[in-house]
Structure 1
Amino acid sequence: MSLPSLKDQFAALIATPSVSCTQPHWDQSNRAVIDLLASWLGALGFACEIQDVAPGKANLLATLGSGPGGLVLAGHSDTVPFDAELWQSDPLRLTEQGDRWLGLGVCDMKGFFPLVIEAVRGLQGQPLKQPLLVLATCDEESSMAGARALADAGRPLGRAAVIGEPTGLQPIRLHKGIMMERIDILGQSGHSSDPSLGHSALEAMHDVMGELRALRAQWQREFSNPQFGVPTPTLNLGCIHGGDNPNRICGQCSLEFDLRPLPGMDPQQLRAAINAKLQPLAERHRVRIDYAPLFDNVPPFEQSADSELVHLAEKLTGHAAQAVAFGTEAPYLQQLGCETLVLGPGDIACAHQPNEFLELARIEPTVQLLRQLIQHYCL
């Protein structure tokens, strides 16, 4: 088959919805996106392997060349949900507006794949000494099930991996972890005129939040990394629900919170510290307290500043490697033995926002950068 133009590839990917979301009414299959990428990469000579992760959800691993080592260019094939009424244009149609392309996923991060294909097209005919792998995953924006499945399979990929998440073409070698947790308290309802008739879940939760805030203060004293814009770990009390009427002792209360640990902080130790505070409160208030993650945590990520990939990316971009607060699939690729870096053309400030865009001026520098990375690791 003849490959579509770069712009037509962008348009086709954006017109193929692949929302992943914890809310079932939003969640969609990514298989049509995977099939598009497989057809284009197959036309360039890649051997394309589709890995089914869950019904309607799949990863693509496309390989050009063979042997150990090589380079992995990676990204996710899904997008977040969108508010169509807040967009100035159709979010599922590529729209050119001045010096930008607009569309859902153009920045975060379907648009990375056409740029990879463009980089490879410019190197056709040159024999590879080491393999080039293109990885497209599912469900990064929700459960990270695609990257987790790869890590669980334990199959080595390449010597180095670059994830094209939006970083403004600045190399990122550190990011915080993500823990989203839930605490449920079951007390005993009763008439509010007599406190002895019940055990207030709301009052118990008040003390739970006090302990969480105290732990947050402790962790912020103990852990700090000046490379991050927010140098300490954060804990956000996100939402709370409980009770039903002013004249009833609150019988049930739930809290959901978000914890962003720094590299070097162990999520299991953090959970153990929280659990140690909860049991005495349960006994004091005579309530039941259940604590569990909303989903598996994303580990903090750190690639050594002295690694070959970091030195190369700093040399090619002219920027020192930085740290970001948002999470990526980097820890899972690192678990497979890849030196890993996050480096892509978009801007994180417009990701997950109406009117998501990619600056046209970023296209050619990204293609050239990808070709230089391929030349270094594969040619």
Structure 2
Amino acid sequence: MTTLPELKHTFSALIAAPSISAIEPAQDQSNKPVLDLLSNWFAELGFDCQQQAVPDSRNKHNLLASLGSGRGGLLLAGHTDTVPFDEGHWQQDPFALTEKDGRWYGLGTCDMKGFFALILEALKDMPLQQLQRPLHILASADEETTMNGAKAFAANAAIRPEYAIIGEPTSLRPVYMHKGHLAQGIRITGRSGHSSDPAKGLNAIDVMHQVIGQLLKLKQHLADNYRENAFSVPYPTMNFGHIHGGDAANRICGCCELHLDIRPLPGIAIADLELMLQQYLLPISEKYPGTVSIRTLYPGAEPFADTADSPWSQLVAKLSGNAPEVVNYATEAPYIRSLGCHTLVLGPGSIEQAHQPNEFLDLSQIQPTVSLLKQLIYHACIA
């Protein structure tokens, strides 16, 4: 008989352990305290718990908890980090689970530390001694920034599950496909000088104007040549999100920088997209040697695709009561999918609450999630 704490206690403990991922070192935190909690709880259920340091990270770790061995079975995966919180915008302590109006409020309630508490709740009274195939739990690091946790795990994983569920907040709707994400910075380094004699300088804004012209050609090429009608926006998108250059009207602009975001469809690898970007800007680079530089603002995320009509997708659709669908945001799914398993993104809570002040999980989602997890574990690992 397990002596695991009751659900609200495990939920509260996870929320109370800060695990913010941020590009800025001052805000970034280790996820180790969260993994230590999970390791203790899963070990009590008989799982073999292994923590692995994530290379080139600031004390970030992954946890793999496994019950049973061999190929096949089910992987339940999620990330243990959260985004930073907007101080002054929360109506309650983001690190204290607060129950109000039929909701549990707290940073990570739906995105997505709470998912692990619900897995534990589902496992409490399941006949785990009857497992025919292994059950794995992956708790990863840095999904909110680099996805380095999932990338490192996929590159070195020894497990080969047949099925996987990633518990991101989808309101329990199975997601079988999503776009990727690439964020690039383009800097033009010109030559400043007095505006009265333009020939003595190289205006970076003028060159950036030409760069934008090429980027618009790439944007049109992507829209004309790649399409997936399952998406509400059925083509790759490009967004110019930030531009800055120059410092005075009477000076030739010496530097101009543009930040852009591209969301590729499945079938376009991030490396291929980066190559396209370089090729489209090559004429400008050749015209103005040493002037154009391209950098990655933060690591990209690959697009993801499974199939809506696979037996796993259809089973999950039947059990959840929701048809498989697609979304425009990115997850760790492509890296989990690379293990060779049928992969779906499905979890409690709404993406509308993710990354928002006063993040919450509606209590009406708890029992359906626990019930669904039990059924999925039964079908994948016991039946």
Q: TM-score scaled to structure 1, two decimals?
A: 0.97
Task: Specify the code of the residue in structure 2 equivalent to 1:357.
Answer: F
The answer to which of 291-300 and 256-265 deviates more is: 291-300
Q: Could you say which residue in structure 1 is the equivalent of 2:148? A: 145
Structure 2 unpaired stretches of 5+: none
Once the two structures are TM-superposed, the CA of residue 126 in structure 1 deviates from its matched residue by 4.0
Instruction: Judge conservation of contact 1:47–1:64 (CA < 8 Å) in 2.
Output: yes
The answer to which of 240-249 and 75-84 deviates more is: 240-249
Distance (Å, rounded) in 1 between the aligned partners of 2:273 and 2:321: 37
5 Å-filtered alignment, 1:282-301, equals: 282-285=285-288, 288-301=291-304
Once the two structures are TM-superposed, the CA of residue 288 in structure 1 deviates from its matched residue by 1.2
Q: Could you say which residue in structure 1 is the equivalent of 2:222? A: 219
Q: Could you say which residue in structure 2 is the equivalent of 1:31? A: 32
Distance (Å, rounded) in 1 between the aligned partners of 2:373 and 2:286: 58
Q: 1:94 aligns with which of 70, 80, 97?
A: 97
5 Å-filtered alignment, 1:233-312, equals: 233-285=236-288, 288-312=291-315
Distance (Å, rounded) in 1 between the aligned partners of 2:274 and 2:14: 40
Deviation track 1:225-258 (CA, whole Å, cap 9, x = no partner) reads 2211222211111112222222111111111111
Q: Could you say which residue in structure 2 is the equivalent of 1:325? A: 328
SS in structure 2 of the partner of residue 364 of structure 1 = helix
Number of residue-to-residue matches in the alignment = 379
Q: Could you say which residue in structure 2 is the equivalent of 1:12? A: 13
Q: Could you say which residue in structure 1 is the equivalent of 2:377? A: 374
Does residue 358 (structure 1) correspond to residue 383 (structure 2)? The answer is: no
SS in structure 1 of the partner of residue 14 of structure 2 = helix
Does residue 210 (structure 1) correspond to residue 210 (structure 2)? The answer is: no
Deviation track 1:135-176 (CA, whole Å, cap 9, x = no partner) reads 100000000110010122142341111000000100000000
Structure 1 unpaired stretches of 5+: none
Distance (Å, rounded) in 1 between the aligned partners of 2:62 and 2:272: 32
Does residue 180 (structure 1) correspond to residue 175 (structure 2)? The answer is: no
Task: Specify the code of the residue in structure 1 equivalent to 2:171.
Answer: G
RMSD of Structure 2 on Structure 1 (CA)? 1.4
The answer to which of 358-367 and 229-238 deviates more is: 229-238
Task: Specify the code of the residue in structure 1 equivalent to 2:260.
Answer: F
Runs of 4+ in 1 over 4 A off after TM superposition: none
Does residue 334 (structure 1) correspond to residue 337 (structure 2)? The answer is: yes
Distance (Å, rounded) in 2 between the aligned partners of 1:235 and 1:91: 34
Once the two structures are TM-superposed, the CA of residue 362 in structure 1 deviates from its matched residue by 0.6
Once the two structures are TM-superposed, the CA of residue 287 in structure 1 deviates from its matched residue by 5.5
Q: Could you say which residue in structure 2 is the equivalent of 1:82? A: 85
Distance (Å, rounded) in 2 between the aligned partners of 1:361 and 1:258: 36
Distance (Å, rounded) in 2 between the aligned partners of 1:4 and 1:241: 53
Once the two structures are TM-superposed, the CA of residue 62 in structure 1 deviates from its matched residue by 0.3
Distance (Å, rounded) in 2 between the aligned partners of 1:199 and 1:205: 11
SS in structure 1 of the partner of residue 36 of structure 2 = helix
The answer to which of 94-103 and 117-126 deviates more is: 117-126
Once the two structures are TM-superposed, the CA of residue 74 in structure 1 deviates from its matched residue by 0.5
Identity in percent: 51
